[in-house]
A and B are shown apart, each in its own frame.
Chain A
Amino acid sequence: MARNVYSAIVLFVMLSLVTGGLYPLVVTLVAQGVFARQANGSLVQENGKIVGSELIGQEFSSEKYFWGRPSAASYNGAASSGSNLGPTNPALADNVRAAAENLGATSDKLVPVDLVTSSGSGLDPDITPAAAHYQIPRVAKVRGISEDKVRRLVDSTMRDRTLGILGEKRVNVLELNRALDVLASVK
């Protein structure tokens, strides 16, 4: 009995040191050595200042930018959350209706579903190509750039499925908006 208790405690401590100490430490060393940019959060810098992470969505509400998806976390990168609203919850329909109206959807101009539903993490960095296309007229008008030019920009930042198979086509909103700022400044 006493011997077994001793064995359990000591073995637990030893395996803890390996799996809870040595293992994360080795992963960190390798990660920081080989993939430092990714390991530190794929941060995006502009003039030496951190403007965000290419993987984490951020709030866009200005008319001159493409907007991301509704977020139950208000794009708080330190407190991720989904809405967890069920499919028949009236609150979900209310949110979607409000978002669709805000985006000027009509029965002739349907809004892509991802633009009016909140993401799982509340930090989704992407929108679908359809959602980007939907916003081109507004952005082009506010920016005073031709729709064709904006469309070419959207299509050039679009990411395809990995190997043509995995995942879904998407447009990174932060990347697109930064490219848009550049395009507008050289116009």
Chain B
Amino acid sequence: MNSSGIIQLIVYVGVLLALVKPFGWFMAEVLDGRWPRRKSWIGFPERLCYRISGIDSTHEMNWKEYAFAMILFNAVGFVAVYFILRLQHFLPLNPEGFANATPDLAFNTAVSFVSNTNWQSYGGETTLSYLSQMAALTVQNFLSAATGVAVLAALIRGLVRRKTEGLGNFWVDVTRSTLYVLLPVSLFLAIALVSQGVVQTFEPYVKATTLEGAEQTLAVGPVASQIAIKQLGTNGGGFFNVNSAHPFENPTPLSNFLEMLSILLLPAALCYTFGRMVGDVRQGWAILAAMVVIFVPLLVACSVAEQSGNPRLSSLHVDQWASPTQSGGNMEGKEVRFGAINSTIWASATTAASNGSVNAMHDSFTPLGGLVPMWLMQLGEIVFGGIGSGLYGMLVYAIIAVFIAGLMVGRTPEYLGKKIQAFEMKMAALVILITPMIVLLGTALAVVGPGLEYIAGDPAEVKSNLNNPGSHGFSEILYALSSAGNNNGSAFAGLTANEPFYNILLGIAMLIGRFWIIIPVLAIAGSLVQKQSTPAGAGTLPTHSPLFVVLLVGTVVLVGALTYVPALALGPIVEHLQMVGVR
């Protein structure tokens, strides 16, 4: 890596950390109900929403009520997306006259956006109408993110409150995080992106005649409004097929910086929110420190791998070295304005968070450069992670870490004064086992046959799902399942996934990966909230200390490595050995 690359890494991480406190502080105000104040005029639209929907905003829900409301709300969202996509041909705002989505594609996309995954089985500008992009996808970008924040708020209240059942009110948490956090920040970001050249229009696609006289059609649309929230809400589902590699979605280095910042902004800030809500900001900083400690080395590893270029090309008279006139590195699938470094910062951030947007094609990364994003997803999307979901996942790991520490010294483990007992541990074990099961079993199912070939076209012919031979083909499948199971949404996009087998398999993986995690998490919250808080004693492990950070990092890395190293060995690691071995 050259000095410019190192500076860009430092600037990125530095600005991100500087924004954690102000944003985290504000979100705590919103989630604790201190801002806006009860009767203030700013809260009028919020109160109107409750009045029309017949919601009693003061009602405290127990964990089962909370989970039930969450599932209902998401089910409604699923149905809405499914039918908008199925009927888009008959609906307005479809200037390109796109056909209705097939049932399997509509199912996959509906699950994808409801579960905050935003796996793109469709190619945006060739498949979806403006109405589908706005009313189906943009709406879910907001609401799935708000759902994540709500569940996190419930878990935090479970840790804070004593001897009660109430975890807050799901409707209130969703509405407030949408109206006061996601909406204003998105509005601001969207306008900033337009100033850089991101398009925002309802006009049909533009026809141009190029300098050499060819016809070129330029896809446009209401892009900026969707891009802003897809970055902020750890969604990642882009307007265009190639997501934020597309110049109309991400035109300049500055737009790129803002979008990269938005990927991790709210998930990182929520750590501070957490600290503030539990009344001890050191607890939040400790969690954030653990995330940064895992993130930075992986980010550097990915950057070094990509900046080193592809040894297979060195004998072909290609100059891959960085110099004052070129950024160099492995440029297949990358854009010149971003170069290798901004592509790897993005790739690491988008997979650390469960964002899944891309500004370069991960499929064309070097084996080790591609291993980093894959493993960051496989860690369970808890290093920053999805908005809300990342932190509640990390808190489950914190519970496991104190449990392991408790075993070492022979004491009942506690976290933030709450005793961790058999029920919590059972639920925590479920959380860390469910995703690897879907990912590894799903991959196994796909590679034994059904995921290798599909039938398409007229006349029908058998085609391969894989775009690359050998171990890289296996990586494409493993990446897809890791992405879906962990609700990331990025892809080794060479894999043809828009066909019934993958649409259904990945749809199921996304559903399980989202809701079968949320329910045990809410169950933990429901159990903790009923407990008395025990004062810290001499034998209590302080959970804001560097020792705890090390323990937490160790737990996360160990579980992630033990689970996935065998599978990774068959994919990127074999490919790396092949790449450096054969010249």
Contact = CB atoms under 8 A, between A and B. Distances in A.
Given A4-B72, A8-B73, A96 B217 contact: no
A4 B54 CA distance: 9
Contacts of A142: none
A82 B73 contact: no
Interface in B1-43: 4, 7-8, 11
A174 B191 CA distance: 26
Given A27-B190, A39-B201, A110 B317 contact: yes
Interface stretch (B282-290, B327-335, B419-427): B327-335
Given A78-B126, A130-B325, A86 B171 contact: no
B412 interface: no
Contacts of B164: none
A162 B253 CA distance: 7
B115 to A, nearest CB: 16
B535 interface: no
Given A20-B138, A79-B241, A120-B335, A40 B329 contact: no
A127 interface: yes
B119 interface: no
A114 B80 CA distance: 43
B443 interface: no
Contact of B218 (A20, A53, A106): A53
Given A14-B52, A27-B190, A50 B225 contact: no
In this complex, the interface size class of chain A, counting residues with CB under 8 Å from chain B, is 35 or more
A141 interface: no
Contact of B492 (A11, A79, A84, A133): A84
A120 B335 CA distance: 6
A87 B330 contact: yes
Contacts of A138: none
A83 interface: yes
A184 interface: no
A123 B246 contact: yes
A38 B139 contact: no
B460 interface: no
A40 B212 CA distance: 23
A170 B325 CA distance: 8
A10 B174 CA distance: 14
Contact of A168 (B178, B228, B339, B579): B339
Given A59-B212, A60-B211, A170 B336 contact: yes
Contacts of A75: 216
Given A82-B333, A84-B363, A178-B211, A166 B49 contact: no
Given A113-B318, A167-B253, A31 B194 contact: yes
Contacts of A59: 210, 212, 214
Contact of A32 (B201, B219, B247, B468): B201
Contacts of A19: 138-139, 141-143, 178, 183, 229
Nearest to B73: A8
Contact of A165 (B8, B472, B493): B8
A27 B313 contact: no
B470 A88 contact: yes
Contacts of A76: 216-217
A28 B75 CA distance: 30
A26 B52 CA distance: 24
A96 B326 contact: no
A181 B211 CA distance: 10
- Most chain B CB atoms below 10 A, which of A57, A60, A78, A133: A78
Interface stretch (B364-372, B502-510, B515-523, B548-556): B364-372
Contact of B494 (A10, A85, A128): A85
Contacts, number: 403
Contacts of A161: 4, 253
Nearest to B363: A84
A56 interface: yes
Nearest to A90: B469
Contacts of A87: 310, 312, 330, 332, 364-367, 472, 575, 579
Interface string A71-111: 00001111111111111111011001100100001110111
A27 B200 contact: yes
B325 A78 contact: no
A21 B197 contact: no
A51 B200 CA distance: 20
Contacts of A21: 134-135
B175 A122 contact: no
A8 B330 CA distance: 48
A59 B401 CA distance: 56
Contacts of A35: 191, 194-195
Contacts of A116: 313, 316, 318
A110 B76 CA distance: 58
Given A28-B200, A82-B333, A84-B363, A77 B219 contact: yes
B569 to A, nearest CB: 16
A10 B52 CA distance: 7
Given A23-B138, A127-B336, A77 B216 contact: yes
A88 B139 CA distance: 40
Given A7-B54, A60-B211, A84-B364, 17 more contacts: A3-B54, A12-B76, A18-B178, A20-B136, A23-B183, A53-B247, A79-B126, A80-B125, A82-B493, A112-B319, A114-B331, A121-B242, A161-B4, A162-B254, A167-B337, A167-B342, A181-B211
Interface of A: 3-12, 14-16, 18-21, 23-24, 26-28, 30-32, 34-35, 38-43, 49-53, 55-62, 65, 69, 75-90, 92-93, 96-97, 100, 105-107, 109-114, 116-131, 133, 161-162, 165-170, 174, 177-178, 181
17 contacts: A12-B80, A20-B134, A21-B135, A27-B190, A41-B201, A52-B210, A62-B212, A76-B217, A87-B330, A100-B317, A123-B246, A162-B252, A165-B8, A167-B252, A167-B254, A168-B327, A169-B325
